[in-house]
Structures are given as structure tokens and as C-alpha cells.
């Protein structure tokens, strides 16, 4: 499948979609407290989507059809955690919230991991390392660099700190579809891979485990958890590569 480079006008449309996503994630982060179920968070997201006249990018996606507008991954859940009424957040949990929306035919996608109440030093360090790895990857998003530079920025940072990068899932191009070419791995060799060009828009989403990199899929067909039960964190931004440098579309 060919890569579609976006015009300035198309990037502006993607910015609008990503501002919807940022708005919803801000509200979810505020609401994510001990005693709240992940299903309640999903309902908050669905209601705000309607208010903003946007559509879910997640609901009914894939096989089996995804059953919610939000992914809520708690502690050892890496990504694609399905919101549930019987999953109640508690003090010390970490929660990864991943959300995507379509606005006027363009897609926004972003994720963040948030602490629930007071968390351990180990959990906080994992969150901080994963967030920083994304910032380093974003900084590599300049014309002339290569896809490998993005993955290397993530992998080299977190592995130096003793963490591991999930390799089973990767980032992606984004535009009129949520998942477009190219794949954007969170690992790789600097200076290798497809060259980055102005107009390319990618969703970069490091998934970082405190233990080993292996994951398994639970019986719901979606929720991915660390094989060794270790904590995992996930951050994602949609980023436009421009001649003036990277533009983070999903940052409010």
C-alpha cells in the first residue's frame, strides 16, 4: 500500500480530529480515580464524542469487533484492554488509556498512562521512561531521517534503563484511516529504513514493559498482557513531519 503524504490543509484537518482526542483524554485522566470502573470511563468518552460531533475510531473495529470507544489497560495490560464494569481502579494502579476518533473524515489517535492515586516509585519510573521515549522519538521526526531513527530513539532509551520494548505491536501512519502505511516500530537501527518526508503523519506509540517484552492475548480476543505479569506503560501521539520540524497534532 502506498504512503499518502498530507498537504498543509489535510494536516490541519488531522489536527482538528486530534484535538477531539486530546479533549477526551484530558477528561478521562481527570476522572480516573480509585473506585471508578473502566466502563465508566468508556461512557464518559462516548458522551464527549457525541458532544463534539465526532465518531469513534475503535468501536466495532477489527475481528472480533471491538466493543467500546476506549481502550483501558491496567497494570500488566499492555494495550487494547476492554473496558469492563467489574474492573474497578484502585490506589496504586497504573492505567493506559488509548482513544481514537474521526472528525470530518480524518482520524486522531493518542494514548497516555496515568497513575491512580499514589503509585510506587517503580511504577512512576516506568511511566516517566515511556513518556520520555516518545518525546525522543518525536524529536527524530524530521525530513531526511529514517523510520529506524524513531524506533532506535525509543528502544535505546528504555533498554538503557532496564526496560523492554514490546515488539508485537507497532505504531502506524494515520490519515483518513486509523491505520495506514508505514508501520512505525518502537525498535530498530538508527539510519535504517524508509526515509522520512515532509507530509508524512504517523502515530508513534511506545509500549514498554518493566519485565520481558513478551505479551499474550486474553480470552476476549483483544486485551494484551505481559507474559511475566510485569507492569507496562503506553504513550502515543499523532505527529506530522514538516519542513519546520515535527508537529504533535494530538497535544492540546
Would residue 29 count as lying in a domain?
yes
The pLDDT assigned to 143 comes to 98
- Residue 2: predicted pLDDT: 83
Residues with Cβ within 8 Å of 67's Cβ and at least 6 positions away in sequence, in order, are 59, 60, 82
Q: Is residue 161 part of a domain?
A: yes
Q: Which domain holds residue 95?
A: 8-246
Residue 226 is predicted with a pLDDT of: 98
CATH code of the domain containing 213 = 3.90.230.10
Q: 211 - beta bridge partners?
A: none
- Residue 126: inside a domain, yes or no? yes
Is residue 2 in a domain? no
CA separation, residue 122 to residues 129, 131, 207, 210 (Å): 11, 14, 16, 9
Name residue 114's beta-bridge partners.
95
252 within a domain of the structure (yes/no): no
Percent of the chain past pLDDT 90, that is, above it, reads 99
pTM higher than 0.95 for the full model? yes
Q: Is the pLDDT of residue 1 over 70?
A: no
pLDDT above 70 for 186: yes
Asked if the structure places residue 251 within a domain, the reply is no
**Residues 94-118: tens digit of each pLDDT:** 999 999 999 999 999 999 999 999 9
Asked if residue 229 has pLDDT above 70, the reply is yes
Q: How far apart are CA 210 and CA 3, in angstroms?
A: 34
Q: How far apart are CA 225 and CA 81, in angstroms?
A: 9
Q: Is the pLDDT of residue 192 over 70?
A: yes
Residue 1 lies in a domain: no
pLDDT, one tens digit per residue, over 44-93 is 999 999 999 999 999 999 999 999 999 999 999 999 999 999 999 999 99
Cβ-count burial 26-40 (b if 16+ within 10 Å, e if not): eebbeebeeebbbbb
- From 102, 60, 52, 58, select the one nearest 80 (Cα to Cα): 58
Half-sphere exposure of 101 (CA within 13 A, CB side): 29
Please compute the mean of the pLDDT values over residues 174-185 and round it to a whole number: 98
In a 3-state reduction of DSSP, which class is residue 98? strand
Residue 3 forms part of a structural domain: no
Verify cis geometry, omega within 30 degrees of 0, for the bond prior to 249: no
What is the residue-averaged pLDDT of the chain? 98
**Count of structural domains within the chain:** 1
Give the containing element (helix H, strand E) for 224.
strand 224-226
What's the average model confidence in pLDDT over 200-212? 98
Amino acid at each position: 500500500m502506498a504512503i499518502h503524504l498530507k498537504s498543509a490543509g489535510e494536516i490541519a484537518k488531522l489536527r482538528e480530529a486530534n484535538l477531539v482526542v486530546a479533549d477526551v483524554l484530558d477528561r478521562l485522566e481527570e476522572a480516573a480515580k480509585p473506585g471508578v470502573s473502566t466502563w465508566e470511563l468508556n461512557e464518559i468518552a462516548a458522551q464527549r464524542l457525541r458532544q463534539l460531533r465526532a465518531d469513534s475510531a475503535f468501536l466495532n473495529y477489527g475481528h472480533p469487533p471491538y466493543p467500546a470507544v476506549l481502550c483501558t489497560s491496567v497494570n500488566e495490560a499492555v494495550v487494547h484492554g476492554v473496558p469492563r464494569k467489574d474492573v474497578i481502579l484502585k490506589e496504586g494502579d497504573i492505567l493506559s488509556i488509548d482513544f481514537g476518533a474521526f472528525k470530518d473524515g480524518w482520524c486522531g489517535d493518542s494514548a497516555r498512562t496515568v497513575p491512580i492515586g499514589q503509585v510506587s516509585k517503580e511504577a512512576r519510573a516506568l511511566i516517566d521512561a515511556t513518556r520520555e521515549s516518545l518525546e525522543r522519538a518525536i524529536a527524530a521526526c524530521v525530513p531526511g531521517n529514517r523510520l529506524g531513527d524513531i524506533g532506535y530513539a525509543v528502544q535505546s532509551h528504555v533498554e538503557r534503563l532496564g526496560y523492554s520494548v514490546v515488539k508485537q505491536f507497532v505504531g502506524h501512519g494515520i490519515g483518513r484511516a486509523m491505520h495506514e502505511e508505514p508501520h512505525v516500530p518502537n525498535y530498530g537501527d538508527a539510519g535504517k529504513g524508509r526515509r522520512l518526508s515532509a507530509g508524512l503523519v504517523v502515530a508513534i506509540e511506545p509500549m514498554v514493559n518493566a519485565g520481558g517484552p513478551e505479551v499474550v492475548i486474553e480470552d476476549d480476543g483483544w486485551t494484551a498482557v505481559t507474559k511475566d505479569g510485569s507492569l507496562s506503560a503506553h504513550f502515543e501521539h499523532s505527529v506530522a513531519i514538516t519542513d519546520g520540524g515535527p508537529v504533535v497534532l494530538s497535544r492540546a
